[in-house]
Amino acid sequence: MKSYEPKNIRNIAFLGHSGSGKTTISESILFQTGAINRRGTVDDRNTVSDYNDIEHEKGCSILCTPLYAEYNDVKINMVDTPGYDDYIGEIIAALKVCETGMMVINSQNGVEVATNIIWEVASQSSKSMMFAINKLDVEQAHFDKNVTDIQESFGRSATIFQYPLQTGANFNTLIDVLTMSAYKFSGDTGFDKIEIPASETAKAEKLHNELIESIAEVDEELMNKYLEEGLLTEEEIWKGLKVAVATCQIFPIICLSGKNNIGTELFLQYAEKFLPSPLDAFPVVSVEGDKIEVNPHAPVSLFVFKLTSEAHLGDMTFFKVYSGTMKSGLDLYNEHRSSTERFGQIFVINGKKRAEAPALCAGDIGATVKLKNTGINDTLHEKGKQITIPKMVYPITKVRTAVVPRTKGEEDKVGIGLNNLSQEDPSLRVEHSQELRQIILHAQGELHLGIAKWRLEHRYRVEAEFIEPRVPYRETIQKQVKGSYRHKKQSGGAGQFAEVHMMIDPWHENMPKPEDMSVRGKDLIELDWGGKLEFVNCIVGGVIDQRFLPAILKGVMDKMTIGPLTGSYVRDIRVCIYDGKMHPVDSNEAAFKTAGMMVFKDNFIQASPKILEPIYNVEIRVPEDSVGDVMSDLPTRRGLILGIDSEGRYQKIKARMPLAELDKYSTALRSMTAGRATYTQEFAEYQSVPPSVQQQLMDDYKKRHDEE
Ligand SMILES: Nc1nc2c(ncn2[C@@H]2O[C@H](COP(=O)(O)OP(=O)(O)O)[C@@H](O)[C@H]2O)c(=O)[nH]1
Ligand SMILES: [Mg+2]
């Protein structure tokens, strides 16, 4: 494989709802350019892109897969992606390294749930976008409706570049209104440029003029010329178009049948002619604030966007070169991990097939055998030059599960497997929760969890059960209580003696000083688990020595990590130590710690303790016809509806829901709306649980405690 200059590279992410045909289109493009000589199909499980075991098992793409085709003098890197928001991490990775996103639309369905979600993600990254209306060969194809749908959802910048002469079984001819010619496709890869049929000239002219006008709008000079002369030269059109697409002023709409390989040749022509090369796109700005120059002669910097460890391809590190020219044998410095990595062979990769590349210039995508100490999101560069490419940012996870090994004793194996998984997929998060005494896996959705389970079993050979995670409840009190505790032990040898008088109150901001007590000192402690502990010294006349106060505090803190109701953390308490006794010989820190702990515990139980639960803000995006169902279901989950806004053809319901209920929501929502609704969640605050729930939780805790 030769090496390609930045101007001859195109990086295109294939995006879109699952089943729209991304993988099939990528296969046809590889075939059209001669990269493969036999076309696989998703249904036969033999496409280049969906080569993974898990993709074979599930029958759809799960991972982002880098592919490349050589067309004329241009290297077209494609990154095929999965089409569910559960796998958003893969979509984010593809968008990160590509200058263009091609949103594939299933002509039968138009804009779908994931289309919207992916569009939102793409919009945040200022990438050039285009639309490919696919499956125009099916009887239910609705080209005009698709266009309206796209424009209503994503704006008028979506512009028709081609339209089909006929859809359905006879779909074989495209009217290209950009160049005002028609293309008739035949056989496996054949196409003929033909005259636009007379019946179509008026429509084609109209669309052509609209397109040229949009191109002219790119800059004032071009617009003036167009207004004066009523036309642009071919050179002006291509130049203007390139700018318009690179700066997101035009989103081209093209037509395809991935299955019948219709239109891919035109796509390739467009990609060569006007899709942005890495040189044409918005410049990437490093964390240090420097614009990164896409220059093959600059010092090398590269960014790692994907890791694999699997049977077919082996353990690989995928990267995009941001500057310089990457060659094998180079030593690059990983700033983040303060280590140097020696690169062996470098490869370009098509699915599971790799070919050695002599060099990869700035803008190109490649891989190397897995680097020892480098993870996703790391930048490596030539030593002495500090460049950090901004990291990929993933959405907040929205489902969680507790993971336990099916066989006792395999806890470590599960832990290692999960850690490896989250290294390959940082949109997953593993939490070894001391509080809940569970390993919690946080993911983007139920499907995402399912894949993690599958990979644990098949890749890391450990059978795990995913069980309901515990909820991080909190405990606090509702009234003031005073009390004392005397700890006394005199059974031969050194004795122990400590007496502590303590008052506890519910803590809140700006609370009045304790009555009838003189405050000698206070400490406001921000608890690691949220909330506060105010520890107030109101000792008079030195009845307890100053040096024993930290021990008392320690006793209190120890109790605060295991609340008496459910064993949860305690928060928002003010503790005043106002009296006590010491013994000249037997008092020591251990004795005061015990006394502090005991009086705190006794007081706490008297102080109308209550359980708090985490409440989340949720935003649920629901298609109009399901709004009623979703709204009426929310109260059954202790959800509180805050408001509803419309957003295109969707309604956005804002609500609050306890985490305990939210854990089951993803599945419920999917079944209520046939998978057409999505939601996001964010922690809001802790709130008291209703009395009936409190009793249930206390009973459960007691039962568990007795069992253990
Ligand atoms: N009729 C028809 N079917 C297609 C076309 N493109 C893809 N398909 C089928 O649609 C299904 C999903 O395709 P796939 O490429 O996996 O979609 P992806 O999820 O977007 O990657 C498969 O059964 C394909 O054979 C097309 O252009 N026409
Ligand atoms: Mg796919």
168, pLDDT greater than 90: yes
Mean pLDDT taken over the chain: 95
If asked whether residues 321 and 219 sit together in one domain, one would say no
* 700, part of any domain: no
What's the rounded mean pLDDT across residues 443-471?
Answer: 93
DSSP 8-state secondary structure symbol assigned to residue 50:
S
Q: Are strands 569-570 and 521-526 parallel, antiparallel or unpaired?
A: unpaired
Asked if residue 622 and residue 602 are part of one domain, the reply reads no
pLDDT tops 80 at residue 492? no
- Give yes or no: residues 676 and 599 share one domain: no
Task: Please tell me the residue having the least CA distance from ligand 1 atom 8.
Answer: 21
Whether 704 maps to a domain, the answer reads no
Q: Is the CB–ligand 1 distance for residue 137 below 6 Å?
A: yes
Q: Is residue 595 within 8 Å of 487, Cβ to Cβ?
A: yes
Question: Is there a domain that residue 359 lies in?
Answer: yes
- 600 and 619 in a single domain? The answer is no
Based on the domain organization, do 631 and 597 belong to the same domain?
Answer: no
Instruction: State if residue 11 touches ligand 1 by the CB under 6 angstroms criterion.
Output: no
pLDDT of residue 309: 86
Whether the CB of 16 sits within 6 Å of ligand 1 = yes
Ligand 2 center to 90 CA (angstroms):
12
Look at residues 413, 437, 470 and tell me which one is the last residue of a structural domain. Answer: 470
CA of 22 to the centre of ligand 2 (A): 5
Choose among 563, 437, 581: nearest CA to 501: 581
* Cβ neighbours of residue 296 closer than 8 Å, sequence gap 6 or more: 5, 6, 324, 325, 361, 362
Q: Band the pLDDT of 419: cuts 50, 70, 90.
A: very high
Q: Are strands 573-581 and 569-570 parallel, antiparallel or unpaired?
A: unpaired
Question: Does 502 lie in the same domain as 369?
Answer: no
Q: State yes or no: pLDDT of 472 exceeds 90.
A: yes
163: Cβ contacts below 8 Å, ≥ 6 apart: 143, 174, 175, 177, 203, 207, 255
Any domain includes 85? yes
Q: What whole-number distance in Å separates Cα of residue 9 and Cα of residue 99?
A: 10
C-alpha 63 to ligand 2 mean position (Å): 9
Asked whether residue 707 is domain-assigned, the answer is no
The CATH number that applies at residue 644 is 3.30.70.240
Say if residue 468's pLDDT is above 80: yes
Any ligand 1 atom below 6 A from CB of 368: no
Structure-model confidence comparison of residues 648 and 552, the more confident one: 552
- At residue 312 the predicted structure's pLDDT band, cuts being 50, 70 and 90, is confident
- Is residue 231 over pLDDT 90? no
Boundary-marking domain end, from 552, 584, 607: 607
Whether 40 maps to a domain, the answer reads yes
Nearest ligand atom owner, CA of 138: 1
pLDDT at 68 over 90: yes
569/681 same-domain check: no
Residues 266 and 213 reside in one and the same domain? yes
Q: Is pLDDT at 491 greater than 80 in this prediction? A: no
* CATH code of the domain in which 316 resides: 2.40.30.10
| Confidence tier at 314 by pLDDT (50, 70, 90) | confident
CATH code, domain with 252: 3.40.50.300
Residue 126: predicted pLDDT:
85
Q: Which atom of ligand 1 is nearest to the CA of 138?
A: 1
* Domain CATH code at residue 568: 3.30.230.10
Asked if the model's pLDDT at residue 645 lies above 90, the reply is yes
What lies within 8 Å, CB to CB, of 329 at 6+ separation is 342, 343, 344
Do 513 and 436 belong to one domain?
Answer: no
At which of 470, 503, 527 does a domain end? 470
Q: Whose CA is nearest to atom 26 of ligand 1?
A: 135
* Same domain? 142 vs 266: yes
Token code pair at residue 511:
């609370």
Rounded distance from Cα 259 to ligand 1 centre (Å): 7
Average pLDDT on 674-703 reads 93
pLDDT tens-digit profile of 16-38? Answer: 999 999 999 999 999 999 999 99
582 and 444 in a single domain? The answer is no
Quick check: is 14 in a domain? yes
C-alpha to C-alpha distance for 215 and 212, rounded to whole angstroms: 5
Q: What is the predicted pLDDT for the residue at 1?
A: 80
- Asked if residue 656 has its Cβ within 6 Å of ligand 1, the reply is no
Torsion angles phi and psi, residue 213, rounded to 5: -60, -40
Q: How many domains does the chain have?
A: 5
d(CA 343, CA 332): 8
Distance from Cα 426 to the centre of ligand 2, integer Å: 21
Percent of the chain with pLDDT over 70: 100
- The enclosing domain of 434 has a CATH number of 3.30.70.870
Give the span between the Cα atoms of 420 and 404, in whole angstroms: 16
Write out pLDDT tens, residues 333-367: 998 899 999 999 999 999 999 999 999 999 999 99
> Is the pLDDT assigned to residue 258 strictly greater than 90?
yes
Q: Are 20 and 141 in the same domain?
A: yes
Kind and range of the H or E element at 443? strand 438-443
> Is residue 361, in this structure, part of any structural domain at all?
yes
* 384 has a pLDDT exceeding 90: no
Structure confidence at residue 92 (pLDDT): 98
Instruction: Provide the residue range defining the domain that includes 492.
Output: 475-607
